[in-house]
Structure 1
């Protein structure tokens, strides 16, 4: 593994580990906290919608900016810094406008860093190792997502209702992540093809990349966005478990089990995609997703939910990191962050639409309808990718 994972990849993965510990320390308590200070469900939805939209659009803008100035680390450091500062800042005031500012700032930090970080991971790999590099990073990131809630559950048992204390404690892993970013040594790639010497540049010019992108990149993105439009928030799966009559501790326990399983499987699935096929690995993941949602539409026993979350972890491990590796293999070196940023932005916007539609259908009909639509839609997306995309097209000879 050492030969395949550079020092920079390992440091970036540790940065993501600590950042996700901080982020997921807030996951179990944020809805409860917001309701306790007077936020309605509608206001919480508006807050999350604005925050996620900010992150989504900024991923594309800052991705293209990273390509234009041919640097990654300034965006990575600034993005992680904003997120690390924002989380403990929640303890300063309960004023709704302050909460909006802080939450949006935290998501903006994610938008600033994501595409530059993904591009740096691509720069630090080759077409033959890219799947496992992204898989390792995703594994460490998700491990943090499992550790964070465990810490919070422990703190709540000793300090019930003391949310501000938890907000302040997120500064510890958050600032550990920032310090680690200063150990990153970015290589200046003289072979990079700079196609960005254009005078015009605005907040949305990254969308223009679609015109010059390769056909295979476009088909991959279309297939993935079709899937994203039926892939609602994981919160709906947890809500289904809760509505089936199970305790809060079982629901949170399932979430932790899912993240640990996801972390454990991410590197092996990335390795498999390098050895066999990125396209095939992603299709397997989409089929696993379909099976999961089909199961959620008809099964309600406790053991069923455990098995289904295990399958869901296999889906996530087969897609999240592998998708970015596959896209990277279809992007020229001078446009890596722009292309990844365009996909990241489209994905974020589609996720917002998907969750809104799922919530509406849930209210109008029922949860079974939501899950059946997602199960069928996933098969359609898998079919599109199987028919219209090529397996492992290598745009960059980065070896």
Structure 2
């Protein structure tokens, strides 16, 4: 496997490095935002659910748009540069936010950048990898992305431990933004083939997509309905006794586990099948949510449970995307990733809002149990609704 990793094309490594730098900034701020929201902007879980839901849903609409344009123009580099630049240079502005409404606007701009870059980037990754290395390629990308998600929270932990004001932490995000821009400019794209496939008109009813792909989107939608913003997990950890300065450290542990397991589990899906690995990942997610619903003031149990969450991430993040590539034709990959990302984003809006209302209106236990049940149902649908209908 190591030989296969080292021989992956240059673009895959470049995209991985860009994701590492970008996530170092993003994840440095991610665990700090709930603290900033509650202690500085004086807003609660409902505001958090609205902010994250709207931001992610908007990003997903743009992921579909950029994916369709990618298929038509056969170029991804401009969207990658624009997307990472918009997100990277927008994050430091959170330091200037005076209310949660301004925070919503800045998070919105951040997610617009994500929406513009994600589908073209994923399609470019797929085009650079051989069919028997797709899981490995996406796994490497996710591993480097999660490496950044380890570095970021550790930086946040170091800054919080030194009692650096929360607003100042956001300003440090400008450094990774500059590095991402420099690396993005080094991406090389091959010229479109002279005999490019005939363009297919965009169909909002997915008539141009295989039936098995549409079934897969149903599963993704159900799982996402129970997969609200990860910020609720950090909020829960703080509520059950985790000191504020250790919250970023906890999230770094999650990303470290995901980083370690992303490559081997994604590569495993090249051999045993994507759905087998995904079902195991969804099951780990359900166990985590059922467990955290019952945890009270036990720091050791929290670290163990969050380690299981990292295992879920390692088993699903790269494999879900590799399965998208397996199910559609080459000339429809950008659009397929657009639909995949649109589905996850649109259902994240009701997921985050619903979770926030269940969390604050009924109880945290009710919210976490609901999410775990959605994951179990999605795993069963993968087995009986998708697996036996693969092309």
Q: What's the TM-score once normalised by structure 1's chain length?
A: 0.89
Cα distance in structure 2, aligned partners of 1:115 and 1:188: 19
Which residue in the other structure is 1:345 paired with? 342
When the two structures are aligned, how many residues end up with a matched partner? 386
Question: Does 2:57 align with 1:53?
Answer: yes
Which residue in the other structure is 2:185 paired with? 182
- How big is the shift at 1:104? 2.0
Matches within 5 A, 1:1-399: 1-2=4-5, 4-34=7-37, 38=41, 40-41=43-44, 45-91=49-95, 94=98, 99-158=103-162, 160-161=164-165, 163=167, 165-190=168-193, 194-196=197-199, 198=201, 207-208=204-205, 210-300=206-296, 301-390=298-387
Cα distance in structure 2, aligned partners of 1:79 and 1:144: 18
Runs of 5+ consecutive residues of structure 2 not aligned to the other structure: none
Higher helix share: 2
Cα distance in structure 2, aligned partners of 1:242 and 1:162: 16
Change (3 A) 1:230 1:2: closer
- How big is the shift at 1:292? 1.3
- Partner deviation per Cα, 1:315-367 (whole Å, 9 max, x = no partner): 11111110000111111111101111111011011112112112222233322
Q: What's the TM-score once normalised by structure 2's chain length?
A: 0.91
Cα distance in structure 2, aligned partners of 1:64 and 1:366: 41
* Mean CA deviation greater in 26-35 or 284-293: 26-35
- Partner deviation per Cα, 1:226-282 (whole Å, 9 max, x = no partner): 111112222233333333233223433221111111111101111111121111000
- Partner deviation per Cα, 1:6-42 (whole Å, 9 max, x = no partner): 1100000000000011112212332343456646335
| Residue pair 2:161, 2:245 contacting (<8 A) in 1 also | no
- How big is the shift at 1:375? 2.2
- Partner deviation per Cα, 1:376-396 (whole Å, 9 max, x = no partner): 2222211111112247957xx
| Residue pair 1:277, 1:391 contacting (<8 A) in 2 also | no
Cα distance in structure 2, aligned partners of 1:34 and 1:120: 36
Cα distance in structure 2, aligned partners of 1:362 and 1:31: 15
Cα distance in structure 1, aligned partners of 2:93 and 2:140: 31
Instruction: Report the secondary structure of 2:131's partner residue.
Output: coil
| Residue pair 2:53, 2:351 contacting (<8 A) in 1 also | no
- Partner deviation per Cα, 1:267-321 (whole Å, 9 max, x = no partner): 1111111121111000111111121122223344333222211221111111111
Cα distance in structure 1, aligned partners of 2:203 and 2:266: 28
Instruction: Report the secondary structure of 2:132's partner residue.
Output: coil
